[in-house]
Amino acid sequence: MKLKFHIKIILWLLVLIGLAFLIWRSFFIDTRELNFKRPISMEVVIDGLRYQTTTEAVTIKDFFKEKELKIYLKDLVMPDLEREIEPGLIVFVTTNRKMTVEVDGEIREVNTIKKTIEKMLEEEQIKLNPFDEIQPSLKKLTKQDLEVTIVRVEKKKVKEEEIIDYKTLTEKDKKLKWKVVKTRQEGEAGLREVEYQLVYKDGEMVSKTKVASKIIKEPQPEIIVEGRKIEIVSTQKGRASWYAFTGKMKCASVRYSRGTWLRVTNQENGKQIIVQVNDYGPDPGTGKVIDLDKVAFAELASIGQGVIEVKIEEIDSE
């Protein structure tokens, strides 16, 4: 019972104190409205340029109308436009800059008060991918009529399979007749997996670079055996001269048909060559039995010698 009584006393005391404060405020505090004499001196800072001026306007908004200064939607004005003007007030204005941004196949016109290109792109919600190229750079300052270009760059890796051509190896066999050719092993192509890095700019591939490769299947070479066994079918002796024809180890003969292989020996020094008939000659009445291509003759004797005595052996190659 005593506790409830004390609480009631405290509550009544608080009510009395509140009433006393209101009475004191009403009768003893002198409230006045400030009425500034006009025109009022003030300053305006527009994009960093400071101007001293006077105005009859009441609010900042009225001031801009009075001075015929246009304020656009994205211009930044501090303090707020509804702020009342008082002597010595400084108003800061940051005007927006009109720019263009070329991105994703379109040219966008933007207005911004942001200081850098990076902040402007954030404001316009233009997101950059890790490899995108931008001109000018993100840290460059924005300015009126600036043109910004963004090239979308995409990098991706792909794997491709490539055929590995087999090699042809030629072996010589002394047991097989001269120039007879046989296939000992068929060739088989191999397979290689190659990884490439592709670079696309605005959707168009501009480079393809090999970054890795591995062989999935080794190629199997083709092995050709060529006969080297010499069996003499017939022999002829006589005089040989030279003529410039193919520049190869060839000759012209009346006796032997085209394609026949002949072993020719210089009777004077014992030097030997093997040539293939590819022409008809020498002319009748010359006293020669064979015309050697110039390069073949040079293997047996000096070109200046002109004519030499030779032994001709027909090689069995069938």
Q: How far is CA 270 from CA 17, 238, 266, in A?
A: 145, 15, 5
| Residue 292 in domain | yes
Burial letters for 193-225: b for 16+ Cβ neighbours within 10 Å, e otherwise? eeebeeeeeeeeeeeeeeeeeeeeeebeebbeb
What CATH number corresponds to the domain at position 303?
A: 2.40.40.10
Q: How far is CA 131 from CA 1, 138, 271, in A?
A: 81, 13, 72
Name the residue among 25, 30, 57 with its Cα closest to residue 41: 57
**pTM, two decimal places:** 0.58
**89 plus 146 within the same structural domain:** no
What is the structure's pLDDT at 131? Answer: 95
CB 54 within 8 A of CB 39: yes
- Assess whether the previous peptide bond of 79 is cis (omega < 30° from 0): yes
Measured CA to CA, the distance from residue 194 to residue 228 in angstroms comes to: 42
pLDDT in tens, the chain (318 residues): 555 666 667 666 766 776 766 665 655 544 445 566 779 999 999 988 999 999 999 999 999 999 999 888 888 999 999 999 999 999 999 889 999 999 999 999 999 999 899 999 999 999 999 999 999 999 999 999 999 999 999 999 999 999 999 999 999 999 999 989 999 999 999 999 999 999 999 999 999 999 999 999 999 999 999 999 999 999 999 999 999 888 999 999 999 999 999 999 999 999 999 999 999 999 888 999 999 999 999 999 999 999 999 999 999 987
Tokens of 126: 């233009």
- What is the domain count for the chain? 4
Measured CA to CA, the distance from residue 165 to residue 188 in angstroms comes to: 8
Tokens of 72: 């656009």
Domain hosting 119: range is 98-151
Residues facing 162 on adjacent strands: 192
What CATH number corresponds to the domain at position 203?
A: 2.20.230.10
Residue 105's region, left for phi above 0, alpha for psi from -120 to 50, else beta, is left
Among 115, 133, 151, the domain-final residue is 151
**198 plus 238 within the same structural domain:** no
**168 plus 210 within the same structural domain:** yes
pLDDT in tens, 173-217: 999 999 899 999 999 999 999 999 999 999 999 999 999 999 999
| Residue 116 in domain | yes
